[in-house]
Structure 1
């Protein structure tokens, strides 16, 4: 049977049409006594929520009533949905952008009146109307009026127009943004009164408005581990690196297979601990990896699911505080390259032949080990270099690392030996694009960043080409080696940290920002590698 669509209701005495709907039973107790603003024509109707919601459509014409009812009905449904899924949260940029739409509506009037919808908002509230009149005649806004009294109606009208339900912090943020926008409007209208219509600089400060994405809804019925992870992934889509989602996904696939579709809120700490032991004993994953990767991932996602951002999908976090006991770690050798290993790797890089079918692979083998040896940079930072990242800072040749593990970009001077070997000429010959991978070869299916894929290929190539101790990390070992040689060269620790991208360890060091010149002077002290 098809559902009957809501229709406008006509008052038998006045013949004026209205929206008239029963408040959903699951929301009556929560929303009774609150108000909702619904679009009606060019303005808004402010209605108190009770067992029934009724708002005049302000017309006796059936066709007009039908059009207005459709818009008001859609807004009311968004209002219901917003309170079911929980309020949205606006960023500072979103609040500014939304306030900017109000500024645009006002400033276009150039002192001759504004959109009727805003006139109607003001007409419904005397304090707002007084503030409107003060703005129009270019007077100072009433000093003793609160921000809420002066601008609350405008903020609520913006939210109602977009069908948004936001939390209290977001509304306060929007209120401040609206105040700033309206103060700019005051200045603009004052100029219009003085016949000054020069281009409006204030309009440029507002970003483009884009609605915030809907929060992930709780899956209906039984909630599984997969459901929680899917909701977390949707919420974090624009906040995390793809590799993080990929890494967490492996842990959750293993957990989901172990608990076999059980309701996630029925899981106890014993279940998660049992999975961790299964991961160790049956899947041959080390206890250290389980603690640092699997349990961290599961605990983080479950913690999110118990909070407001996760819409309290879970009552508790059964992974909180869990760890497997680890045996005493035994380090079988130092982490730095030994003298013969340095020579073997750098000689292999010098001897790396061109690869006509995949030139960037050959370039990475030729240059990345040497760049790592003379900078201590992470290999994925080097494999991600663009031609435009190799440049002159004054008269100092530098590399700009824009994508780093810490998310903090840095600039590193090039060692004179690297320059002497022709790296600057190589970088210039490649143009402004990637130096060590070819975007044209990407299929678009890989989640992992191409720079990280290339760094993985380098490890494999080195293992196949050079005999190295299994305990040595062929890529990361250069960071240990560079820092050790920098210590031998008497380079200040704060300078060497800045070059390698290590965070300052003391509060006082965080106030120090080594300059390119300071780093270049330090790099000049770093000795050349002797392959003889």
Structure 2
């Protein structure tokens, strides 16, 4: 007997309960994995316990079917297996029946049409096939046939039933028949008729949460409506946004899914397999960035694969896909060879700041020129992240009264109100006197638009334009500091800590200026005053070019 969990297993991150059971040795080759892990679709421990017991029974039935080998299905058995789809489909469109546009009733009665005897022997067969290929109705009908066949495969896989091609087609036809009946009922409902199952009206509270009545515990539906990769990301974002996820995360995840779609050549989430994700990973590791360098293993692991795992995991937990194909796919971590420190050297910093200071406007946008002219200097004296400065607004700079500074102090406000801030917490960073002397406050006061360095898109969004400016800054810096051992933008942040430490600035003050989290419980108490911040910035030495 296989090992199994005697109680539901609670996912440590999502809090959703699962059934976990080791696959018996005699079924490993058929199932292709060592463990069955099935979402119970609930965070309620009491409900999870009863669902777990039912799920175990169904899993045992599936394994019994697999051990029994190929099975012959009667038409009655095929229709009984998929009958729960009728109630599920109606419930999907109960509130807005006129919006049902997936199943085409005009084509549903004529799927898998029979060919006339001798059809393949006709003299103009090639011309007939070409004509069919160009007929949009034929294409739509074949898409419906393919969908029914995919659902038949899902039903068979879920129940562990092995059939030949003839019985597979029989089950697919049964799915088409129940979809046609349900869609006709939905169309009638759009005309004001009541929706019912048999003679009994459907009660929402008694409907299964998925297409198959054998899965009322909320696992992913066997009969899954079409799902595009792009729509999965947007659906995930609608929930993730409320949990505090940043817009930059949304953009990064959407980018990863665009890359996956382009690689696969289709946008069908249900067709994505683990093998597809592995091939995509290998493809990304062999890809090159705009500058000709290979995409790093860190980017593939922490950006591409992280996005796929998060969104597919959410889609699986919410019954939108049958499984998470990205689970278990990773990139081996190799120790990096460190040949130098990560901050700019004094000479590299001077070279880059000299280039920024003497930069003349070109054909680029005024905002891009301003970013290259000012942002390297601001980063050098604030230790901020490049995105925090690139998204800066005119109102984020103000003069503040501070004890000991008769003329006040120019204060830069880094805030989530302007865009993405990693910690999601606003902070104030005083301007260094050298930045004031160079004319940064005067520049800010001359800008008429709200944003200093980016032009929002037509919808008012800043994520895309922000990434573009960050890329241009990286390219600009690489013209003067080409050593791959340093980051063209982030190395300013490393250098700031080194310079501030050498100037005698306390570690907790450096953390407050840069937006780093406290390293101990004790450091979370109290705050760093504006005076302490201003004093710290004033201690930093001027940069001589």
TM norm structure 2: 0.52
2:314 is matched with which residue: 287, 304, 310? 304
Unpaired segments ≥5 residues, structure 1: 1-23, 30-68, 87-216
Contact 1:360/1:436 (8 A) holds in 2 = yes
Unpaired segments ≥5 residues, structure 2: 1-82, 89-190, 196-200, 211-219, 289-293, 402-407
Report the Cα distance in structure 2 between the residues aligned to 1:426 and 1:234, rounded to whole angstroms. 41
Offset of residue 481 of structure 1: 0.5
Aligned to 1:328: 335
Report the Cα distance in structure 2 between the residues aligned to 1:353 and 1:271, rounded to whole angstroms. 48
Report the Cα distance in structure 2 between the residues aligned to 1:400 and 1:316, rounded to whole angstroms. 44
Report the Cα distance in structure 2 between the residues aligned to 1:483 and 1:78, rounded to whole angstroms. 65
Offset of residue 80 of structure 1: 5.1
Q: Describe the superposition over 1:89-115 as per-residue Cα deviations: whole angstroms up to 9, x where unpaired.
A: xxxxxxxxxxxxxxxxxxxxxxxxxxx
2:369 pairs with 1:362: yes
Name the SS for the 1:397 alignment partner. Answer: strand
1:478-493 alignment to 2 at 5 Å?
478-493=492-507
2:238 pairs with 1:233: no
User: Would you say how many aligned residue pairs link Structure 1 and Structure 2?
Assistant: 333
Contact 1:219/1:227 (8 A) holds in 2 = no
Aligned to 2:465: 450
Offset of residue 72 of structure 1: 11
Offset of residue 301 of structure 1: 0.9
Name the SS for the 1:408 alignment partner. Answer: coil
Name the SS for the 2:228 alignment partner. Answer: helix
Aligned to 1:523: 537
2:394 is matched with which residue: 387, 406, 418? 387
Offset of residue 364 of structure 1: 2.1
Q: Describe the superposition over 1:391-420 as per-residue Cα deviations: whole angstroms up to 9, x where unpaired.
A: 022232101112323332221111111112
Offset of residue 306 of structure 1: 2.1
1:43-442 alignment to 2 at 5 Å?
223=226, 227-237=228-238, 239=241, 240-256=245-261, 269=274, 271-281=276-286, 285-307=295-317, 310=318, 312-354=319-361, 358-394=365-401, 395-402=408-415, 403=419, 404-431=421-448, 433-439=450-456, 442=457
Contact 2:454/2:469 (8 A) holds in 1 = yes
Aligned to 2:522: 508
Name the SS for the 1:334 alignment partner. Answer: coil
Offset of residue 281 of structure 1: 4.8
Report the Cα distance in structure 1 between the residues aligned to 2:460 and 2:449, rounded to whole angstroms. 25
Report the Cα distance in structure 2 between the residues aligned to 1:281 and 1:437, rounded to whole angstroms. 32
Contact 1:242/1:447 (8 A) holds in 2 = no
Report the Cα distance in structure 1 between the residues aligned to 2:298 and 2:424, rounded to whole angstroms. 25
Name the SS for the 1:374 alignment partner. Answer: helix
Report the Cα distance in structure 1 between the residues aligned to 2:259 and 2:372, rounded to whole angstroms. 35
Report the Cα distance in structure 1 between the residues aligned to 2:193 and 2:525, rounded to whole angstroms. 55
Contact 1:222/1:263 (8 A) holds in 2 = no
Q: Describe the superposition over 1:181-228 as per-residue Cα deviations: whole angstroms up to 9, x where unpaired.
A: xxxxxxxxxxxxxxxxxxxxxxxxxxxxxxxxxxxx9897665xx625
Offset of residue 289 of structure 1: 2.3
Contact 1:355/1:361 (8 A) holds in 2 = no
Q: Describe the superposition over 1:36-92 as per-residue Cα deviations: whole angstroms up to 9, x where unpaired.
A: xxxxxxxxxxxxxxxxxxxxxxxxxxxxxxxxx98999xxx9995997889xxxxxx
Contact 1:349/1:365 (8 A) holds in 2 = yes
* 1:458/1:288 CA distance change after superposition, 3 Å: closer
Report the Cα distance in structure 2 between the residues aligned to 1:221 and 1:287, rounded to whole angstroms. 34
Structure with the larger RCO, 1 or 2 (CA within 8 Å, 6+ apart): 2
* 1:221/1:70 CA distance change after superposition, 3 Å: closer
Report the Cα distance in structure 1 between the residues aligned to 2:270 and 2:363, rounded to whole angstroms. 56
Name the SS for the 2:382 alignment partner. Answer: coil
Contact 2:455/2:462 (8 A) holds in 1 = no
Offset of residue 371 of structure 1: 0.9
* 1:297/1:82 CA distance change after superposition, 3 Å: farther
* 1:496/1:432 CA distance change after superposition, 3 Å: farther
Once structures 1 and 2 are overlaid, which stretch shifts more, 278-287 or 377-386?
278-287
Report the Cα distance in structure 1 between the residues aligned to 2:348 and 2:267, rounded to whole angstroms. 51
TM norm structure 1: 0.53
Report the Cα distance in structure 1 between the residues aligned to 2:471 and 2:207, rounded to whole angstroms. 47
Name the SS for the 2:442 alignment partner. Answer: helix
* 1:486/1:249 CA distance change after superposition, 3 Å: same
* 1:430/1:222 CA distance change after superposition, 3 Å: closer
* 1:386/1:322 CA distance change after superposition, 3 Å: same
Aligned to 1:140: none
Contact 2:411/2:428 (8 A) holds in 1 = yes
Offset of residue 249 of structure 1: 3.2
Report the Cα distance in structure 2 between the residues aligned to 1:514 and 1:71, rounded to whole angstroms. 68
Offset of residue 499 of structure 1: 0.7
Report the Cα distance in structure 2 between the residues aligned to 1:219 and 1:385, rounded to whole angstroms. 48
Report the Cα distance in structure 2 between the residues aligned to 1:494 and 1:463, rounded to whole angstroms. 32
Aligned to 2:125: none
RMSD of the alignment, in Å? 4.2
Contact 1:302/1:314 (8 A) holds in 2 = yes
Offset of residue 341 of structure 1: 0.8
Offset of residue 322 of structure 1: 2.8
Q: Describe the superposition over 1:474-525 as per-residue Cα deviations: whole angstroms up to 9, x where unpaired.
A: 2111000101101111211111111111122222222332121111111121
